[in-house]
């Protein structure tokens, strides 16, 4: 499909690119940045993390990836949000 991201701030213009990004990880950063623009947000991060081990990886937009060097492992395991959502099934989505 490879839908391009519209320059408008219309939330509906993001639907196609969201589905496309599921198959092409390179599309996430521009897509997340457009989502942030819709709400006058700044940095964007999409994190995939194992709640038991705290290990994972991320896709980073408008933020230096090095800022997350200590997140995976140490801080990800003691994150109170991780504890609060630990009951969620694998593959669940959380928007924070």
pLDDT given at position 44: 92
pLDDT given at position 96: 67
pLDDT given at position 10: 85
Q: Where are the domains of the chain?
A: 1-42, 49-84
Count other Cβ atoms within 10 Å, centred on residue 13: 16
Residue-by-residue pLDDT tens, the chain, 96 positions: 445 554 557 889 999 999 999 999 999 999 999 999 998 999 999 988 877 777 888 999 999 988 887 787 677 778 787 778 878 887 777 776
Nearest to 35 by CA among 25, 45, 22: 45
pLDDT given at position 17: 94
pTM for the full predicted model: 0.69
Tokens of 43: 């940095």
């Amino acid at each position: 499909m490879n839908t391009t991201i519209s320059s408008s701030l219309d939330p509906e213009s993001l639907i196609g690119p969201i589905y496309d990004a599921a198959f092409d990880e390179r599309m996430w950063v521009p897509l997340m940045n457009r989502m942030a623009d819709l709400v006058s947000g700044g940095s964007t991060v999409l994190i995939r993390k194992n709640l038991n081990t705290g290990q994972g990886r991320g896709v980073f937009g408008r933020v230096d990836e090095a800022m997350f060097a200590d997140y995976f492992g140490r801080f990800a395991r003691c994150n109170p949000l991780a504890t609060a959502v630990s009951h969620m099934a694998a593959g669940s989505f959380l928007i924070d």
